[in-house]
Amino acid sequence: GNSVTQMEGPVTLSEEAFLTINCTYTATGYPSLFWYVQYPGEGLQLLLKATKADDKGSNKGFEATYRKETTSFHLEKGSVQVSDSAVYFCAHMNYGGSQGNLIFGKGTKLSVKP
């Protein structure tokens, strides 16, 4: 069935360190892929997205590339800040299906220390 697997956290980094959060997916067809971020006490915010193979989504220094051959969408950032501390969710949705059916990974909690 459709699913998303992302690396378990928590991930603890020092400020300015390099970040990678791995995400792989199982889906039928050619899903759109997303990274959402959840700050403490808040709802989800879309961080970036990619809608087709080899697309690179980017926002606020974060990047992820849609790799169809490896069914992956790993999140990276070259230099993290304390303000990046949050929970990050990888998700996918299939085109042509319901607009409402996002499938999420379990989330990865990131803590960045000064």
Partner 1 sequence: KAGVTQTPRYLIKTRGQQVTLSCSPISGHRSVSWYQQTPGQGLQFLFEYFSETQRNKGNFPGRFSGRQFSNSRSEMNVSTLELGDSALYLCASSLEGDEVYNEQFFGPGTRLTVL
Residues that bind partner 1 (CB under 8 A): 32, 36, 41-46, 49, 51, 89, 91, 93, 95, 97-107
**C-beta closer to partner 1: residue 41 or 114:** 41
Q: What is the layout of strands, in order, in the sheet containing 75-77?
A: 19-21, 75-77, 62-65, 56-59
The CA distance from 20 to 22, in Å, is: 6
**C-beta closer to partner 1: residue 13 or 44:** 44
Q: Smallest distance, Å, CB 86 to partner 1?
A: 14
Tell me which residue of 56, 42, 39, 52 sits closest to 92, measured CA to CA.
52
Tell me which residue of 67, 70, 72 sits closest to 55, measured CA to CA.
67
Q: Smallest distance, Å, CB 14 to partner 1?
A: 27
**C-beta closer to partner 1: residue 22 or 104:** 104
